Amino acid sequence: MADPRGFLNTDREVAQSRPVEERVKDWNEVYVPGSLLPIVSKQAGRCMDCGIPFCHQGCPLGNLIPEWNDFAYREDWVAAIERLHATNNFPEFTGRLCPAPCESACVLGINQPPVTIKNVEVTIIDKAWDAGHVTPQPPDRLSGKTVAVIGSGPAGLAAAQQLTRAGHTVAVYERADRLGGLLRYGIPEFKMEKRHINRRIEQMRAEGTKFRTEVEIGRDIDAKKLRKRHDAVVIAAGATTARDLPVPGRELNGIHQAMEYLPLSNKVQEGDLTVSPITAEGKHVVVIGGGDTGADCVGTAHRQGAASVTQLEIMPKPGEERAPHQPWPTFPMLYKVTSAHEEGGERVYSVNTTHFEGDEDGNVQWLHLVEVEMADGKLEQKPGTERKIPAQLVTLAMGFTGVDRENGLVEQFGVELDERGNIARDGNYATSVPGVFVAGDAGRGQSLIVWAIAEGRSAAKGVDRHLMGASALPSPIGPNDRALAV
Which parts of this chain interact with ligand FAD (CB under 6 A)? Answer: 97-98, 150-156, 173-176, 181-182, 186-187, 216-218, 236-238, 240, 258, 262, 292-293, 296, 404, 407, 409, 440-442, 447-450, 452
The binder of 115, among ligand SF4, ligand FAD, none, by C-beta within 5 to 8 A per type, is: none
348 close to 313: Cβ distance less than 8 angstroms = yes
Q: Please give the residue ranges that form the binding site for ligand SF4 (CB under 6 A).
A: 58-59, 61, 63, 65, 94, 98, 100-102, 117-118, 121, 450
Single-letter code of the amino acid located at 196: H
Coil, helix or strand for 418?
coil
List CB contacts of 5: < 8 A, sequence separation 6 or more. none
Nearer to ligand FAD, 242 or 348 (CB): 242
Nearer to ligand FAD, 409 or 485 (CB): 409
What are residue 294's phi and psi, to 5 degrees?
-60, -45
Supply the DSSP symbol for 18: P
The binder of 173, among ligand SF4, ligand FAD, none, by C-beta within 5 to 8 A per type, is: ligand FAD
What are residue 103's phi and psi, to 5 degrees?
-70, -30
* Residue 482: CB minimum distance to ligand SF4, A: 10
* Residue 97: CB minimum distance to ligand FAD, A: 4
List CB contacts of 4: < 8 A, sequence separation 6 or more. none
**Strand spans (E) along 376-423:** 378-381, 387-390, 393-396, 400-402
* Residue 52: CB minimum distance to ligand FAD, A: 25
Nearer to ligand SF4, 332 or 344 (CB): 332
Supply the DSSP symbol for 272: S
The binder of 216, among ligand FAD, ligand SF4, none, by C-beta within 5 to 8 A per type, is: ligand FAD
Nearer to ligand SF4, 12 or 267 (CB): 12
The binder of 476, among ligand SF4, ligand FAD, none, by C-beta within 5 to 8 A per type, is: none
Q: Is the peptide bond before 329 cis (omega within 30 degrees of 0)?
A: yes
The binder of 176, among ligand FAD, ligand SF4, none, by C-beta within 5 to 8 A per type, is: ligand FAD
Per the DSSP assignment, residues forming a β-bridge with 396 are 257, 288
Nearer to ligand FAD, 48 or 438 (CB): 438
107 close to 48: Cβ distance less than 8 angstroms = yes
The binder of 296, among ligand FAD, ligand SF4, none, by C-beta within 5 to 8 A per type, is: ligand FAD
Sign of CA dihedral 350, 353, 359, 362: positive
Nearer to ligand FAD, 3 or 404 (CB): 404
